Amino acid sequence: MAIVRSKICGITSVEDALVAAEAGADAIGLVFYAKSPRAVSIQQARAIIAALPPFVTTVGLFVNASRCELNETLDAVSLDMLQFHGDETPADCEGFHRPWYKALRVRAGDDIRGQTARYAGASAVLLDTFVSGIPGGTGVVFDWSLIPADLPKPLILAGGLTPQNVQQAIAQVRPFAVDVSGGVELRKGVKNAESVREFVRRVRAAM
């Protein structure tokens, strides 16, 4: 089976970023969405990125941000990749000179294959749980059987993942990567170091 990558999202401190990196996470997520309890400021993001060792991908998460806001953030913060987690159109995601992927919130009856195909310029698609009024970080698992086997993009699986269910998720879905936030927290925005280590360990053991 191919190697499955792991991303620890909602990092808000240098300490948590280093725990994720030392655990072997492939990427960390920084949330640039003011309404999120896991949001970071420009200053926080810069400090976190400066502390990271090489080869850890930094992903900026945005929710319906204006092009002006996005460009201001990218001018100030050295992000490797962008995650669009709102209602962005394909055109909204293009033109920032970074690889990017689109989050889709899954519910029964969705044409996931068709939605994925719309975002032709994306490096991947992230599938998360649909909860009305909450863009992400819900801590709720969706029905993995809804995921088509032949998606036209690499799949990043999110939505309610924990150290306890991630191996089952990988066995059933066979994603390119898994993305966790609330499932490894002490409280919103603060990671549990042991949970982070266990999550990454179990992802690697599932290979």
Is the pTM of the predicted complex or chain greater than 0.85?
Answer: yes
pLDDT of 126? 97
Amino acid 139: pLDDT: 72
Helix %, strand %, coil % for the chain, to 5?
Answer: 35, 25, 45
Tell me the average confidence (pLDDT) per consecutive run of 10 residues in the chain, 207 residues long: 92 98 98 96 98 98 97 98 97 97 91 95 94 66 92 96 97 97 96 98 91
Q: Report the pLDDT value the prediction gives residue 6, as an integer from 0 to 100.
A: 98
CB atoms within 10 A of CB 132: 6
The reported pLDDT for the residue numbered 2 is 81
For the annotated catalytic residues, the residue numbers are 9, 128
Candidates 43, 32, 6; CA nearest to 21 is 6
Q: Which two tokens stand for residue 104?
A: 């889709």
CB 90 within 8 A of CB 117: no
CA distance 70 to 90: 15
Closest by CA position to 185, among listed 54, 49, 13: 13
CA–CA separation, 135 and 86 (whole Å): 6
The 3-state secondary structure of 101-130 reads: EEEEEECCCCCHHHHHHHCCCCCEEEEEEC
